[in-house]
Each structure stands twice: as structure tokens, then as C-alpha cells.
Amino acid sequence: MPHFGFKCTECFKNHKADPQTLRCGTCSGTLSVKYANSKKQVNRQVGDGMLDMPIPLCSLSEYLSLGEGNTPVVFMPNISTMLETEIYAKLEFMNPTGSFKDRGTAMMISALKSKGVSEIVEDSSGNAGASVSAYATRAGIKAHIFAPLSAPQTKLNQIKIYGSILHEVDGSRDETTQAAEEFVENKSIVYASHNLSPFFIEGTKTFGYEIFNDFDREIPENIVVPVGNGSLYLGIWKALEELKEKRLIKTLPKLHCIQAENVNPIASNKTLSKSEIKSTVAGGIAVGSPPRKSEVQSVLRQSKGFANSVKEASIVEWQIKLAKHEGLFCEPTSAAAFAGLENLINAKEINKNERVLIPITGSGLKDIFPE
Ligand SMILES: [Zn+2]
């Protein structure tokens, strides 16, 4: 018996952990990893080797790394003065392929490789596709990456350079997922969806463990996260809960969720019809029907965080502001978090005497150049 299994997030039924299983066989709910209280538990040391983090692999030697994680945290003096709040950024674009996705991909590809999988399908708005392409190459796995034709050319080129087969879809982000699912069914290839894989979230957990170390155990009171599918958001929360269980932290920060006003199924708490989904410069969070929506909403309630939608103009404004005032060129998806932060401060949903941490999920060099 391995030391971990899957648990359905809807009907709570337990399932055998398998990287090819993406949904509950009983109710089609999304799955998450559950660890048994076992002596066989495998841990990775994270946060400068200070912390043991449980991982869903049978041996540490199965973990495939390209050097992801341990990204720097920087204080943002000028933006802090502007918003009269102490603001920090964690530079996730310093991961091997330029986005936070590498944390999740490393774990997901390790699990697939450990089961001898040799060919996979993935769909992405760009960053996850590039990440899966790189890690799959390293693992000797052939990857088919589906991405919208409208994704930035730099991201599409990056997917191709690692050697994966790029399938460009003339449609929305959600139509790209549909095209990938059809391909999986027709060709009987393993679907390595980073949105559904429970292993992916086990990888993004490292962000939560690292900030415990980055802030010398005093994690900021607020973490503001741009949310599309919510894999980073949910990974941070899972890590914080594990740290609390180990009695390393007493209180959990508020986890705020930022979406673009043009695609905001979580912030609006609505099921968006095709005509309600508009285009957004924040391609990384342009997800009309996130499969883990109810999980994100549950964390919002538990952490007492707020969901906020931001206007297109404010996303571009903040992308330029961050570059001009902090020397930080981030992708629009990350800039959206700052636009949301400004809204939350103005609405007094974040107190000015509390600290704020924002992940800079991806580099501006990968995305649309501001005018
Ligand atoms: Zn279920």
C-alpha cells in the first residue's frame, strides 16, 4: 500500500492514486491527494532544507527537478508608498521556464514517469504548456500541447523549442480544453491536465512552505493571487494547512482571489455562458469554467479572503506602473493581482497596517508588450 491516495473533493470517496485518474469515478468530482499516517511517508526538504513536505511519490529518487522553487521575495518600496501598505513580491518568473507552473509540473511529470507513461496531452494558455513541454522532454515523455491560437507568440514558440508537438486551437481557452479532451479520446493518450491532476497541486505547495522560511515564520497577513484554475491558490492553502497541522503556524493568512472582470466565474460566482466570456490581456487567468471552482470558493470562505474582479485598463496600467516604479516587468496576469490589491485596499477589505504578498506568476517577456 502506498502512503497516499486520492480523495474526491465532492463526495469524499477514496480512490487509488494514479496519475492517469483525473476525476472521481463515482461523481466526476475533482480529486486531491490524501496522505495516510504512515511510516512510509516520503518527504522533500523545502524552504532552504528547513522543512519536510510530504510528497505523493514512492521514493524521493522519482522526483524530477529542473531547479524549480526557492524564488526570491523582494520588498516593493515605491508601490508600498503609493498604496500605503507593506507589499512584497515573490518572483515566480525565476523558475526554469519562467512561471510558477514549474512547481506543479515537476511533481506531475515525476508521477507520470514513475508509472512508465511515455506520451501525454496537455492544454494550456501558454505558461503551463511551456512548462510541461520542458519537463516532459527531460523525462523522455512525448508531449502534445494544445494552446489557443491567440496565445502570445513568445509562449507558443517556447512550447515548440523544447520539442513538444504544438496543437494551436482557433478558439477560446475553454475550447482548447475541449479539443485536447477529444484528442485524448480519439488517440487513447494519457491526459496530463495540470488543471485536474492532483499531483500538480502537491507541487505548487512548495510556494507555501517557502514563504514560511522567506518571512522567518511570520507569513504576511494577506496573500493576493491571480486565479484562473486556482492551482497555485489551492497549493498555497494546502501547504499552510499542513504547516498548521504541524503546529508551525498558528494563524493562517487571508488568501484573496483576483480575476479579470472579462472572465470572472469565481469572483462573480456565476456559471458564465460563452457570450459572457470576453477577451482579456490576462491570458493566464482567462478560464471560463474552472473545474476546481468550488474548492477555490471553499478556501476563500475558510481563509476569510475576498474575490475581486479587475478592469482591463487597470491591468495594463499596473503592468506599466510595476515596470516604471519597481523595475519589475511582469505578465498582465500578475499585474491583475496588483489592480485587485488596489481595489481591496480602497474597499477597506485589506487593512493598511497589514502586510501583503503577491506572486509574480510569470515574466512580462513572455506576454503582450504594453503600449
Ligand atoms: Zn466523488
Report the alpha-carbon distance of residue 112 to residue 192 in Å, rounded.
8
Report the alpha-carbon distance of residue 200 to residue 124 in Å, rounded.
14
The H-or-E segment that residue 167 falls in is: strand 165-169
Domain for residue 356, yes or no? yes
| 157 plus 236 within the same structural domain | no
Give, as one character, the DSSP assignment of residue 170.
Answer: S
| 92 plus 168 within the same structural domain | no
List the one residue out of 296, 286, 284, 288 whose CA is nearest residue 272.
288
Q: Give the pLDDT score at 370.
A: 45
Residues 6+ apart with CB under 8 A from 127: 97, 98, 99, 101, 155, 284, 361, 362, 366
Spacing, Cα 200 to ligand 1 middle (Å): 19
User: What residues pair up with 178 in beta bridges, in sequence order?
Assistant: none
List the one residue out of 293, 292, 289 whose CA is nearest residue 277.
289
Give the domain-ending residue among 142, 164, 191: 191
Can you state the angle between helices 231-245 and 101-114, rounded to 10 degrees? 80
Q: Give the pLDDT score at 283.
A: 83
Give, as one character, the DSSP assignment of residue 343.
Answer: H
Total domain count, the chain: 2
Q: Give the pLDDT score at 371.
A: 43
Exposure string of 277-296, with b = 16+ CB inside 10 Å and e = fewer, is beebbbbbbbbbebbbbebb
| 258 plus 150 within the same structural domain | no
| 237 plus 342 within the same structural domain | yes
Give the domain-ending residue among 176, 191, 206: 191
Spacing, Cα 289 to ligand 1 middle (Å): 19
Spacing, Cα 11 to ligand 1 middle (Å): 4
Spacing, Cα 21 to ligand 1 middle (Å): 12
Q: Give the pLDDT score at 289.
A: 87
Spacing, Cα 17 to ligand 1 middle (Å): 14
| 224 plus 342 within the same structural domain | yes
| 183 plus 282 within the same structural domain | no
Spacing, Cα 29 to ligand 1 middle (Å): 5
CATH number at residue 178: 3.40.50.1100
Give the domain-ending residue among 163, 191, 219: 191
Domain for residue 141, yes or no? yes
The grid coordinates of residue 331 equal: 505578465
| 327 plus 256 within the same structural domain | yes
| 87 plus 141 within the same structural domain | no
Distance, first Cα to last Cα, the chain: 56
Q: What is the mean pLDDT of each run of 10 residues along the chain (371 residues)?
A: 91 94 96 89 86 95 97 98 97 96 98 97 91 98 95 91 96 90 94 95 98 95 96 98 94 96 91 85 86 96 97 96 96 96 97 96 77 43
| 252 plus 131 within the same structural domain | no
Spacing, Cα 108 to ligand 1 middle (Å): 21
**Alpha-carbon 296 to chain mean position:** 12
Spacing, Cα 23 to ligand 1 middle (Å): 8
Report the alpha-carbon distance of residue 148 to residue 37 in Å, rounded.
42
Domain that holds residue 139: 101-191
